[in-house]
Amino acid sequence: MLELAVVDYAVIVTYFVMLFALGFFIKRKVHDLNDYFLAGRRLTLPIFVATLVSTWYGGLLGVGELSFNYGLVNWLTQGFFWYLVYLFFAFFLANRIRRSNLYTIPDQLERFYDKKSRFLGAIFNFIMVTPAPYVFSM
């Protein structure tokens, strides 16, 4: 079993104290759903890209582990295609979606179709963000 020294516990406690302090500080700036879900729609492109990349490589879906185990092939199969999709999205769709003042893809489905489409889109989105599609794609 892993044993931690006093300094390890101090680092962990300090991290959580700073995290909670940051949360309480930021809480005062959050007034509505735009602020909470979309950072008030104030993110610059570099910060937005940094959050996407850090989330992706931070292990949300095990990409870090897969990259370690399979190397460059993993990046080509799990990352490269999505970078192309993100570029297409950024150049051709982002402004239209931003002007719509909607939050999610299911919101867009309801706008163009109906509530049933929104519900099915939400279910499909949920399935796609679980690890199962990635495990079965290996």
Residue-wise pLDDT tens digits, 47-91:
877 887 777 666 656 677 777 888 878 777 777 787 788 788 878
* Phi, psi of 125, deg, nearest 5: -60, -45
Q: Supply the pLDDT for residue 79.
A: 73
Quick one: average pLDDT of 121-137?
A: 79
Q: How confident is the model at residue 96 (pLDDT cuts 50, 70, 90)?
A: confident
- Take residue 69 and report the two structure tokens written for it: 């185990």
- Tell me what pLDDT residue 59 has: 60
Contact between residue 107 and residue 121 where contact means Cβ atoms under 8 Å apart: no
Structure-token pair, residue 65 = 């582990």
CA distances to 8, 44, 87, 99 from 5, in Å: 5, 40, 46, 52
What average pLDDT does the segment 1-27 reach? 92
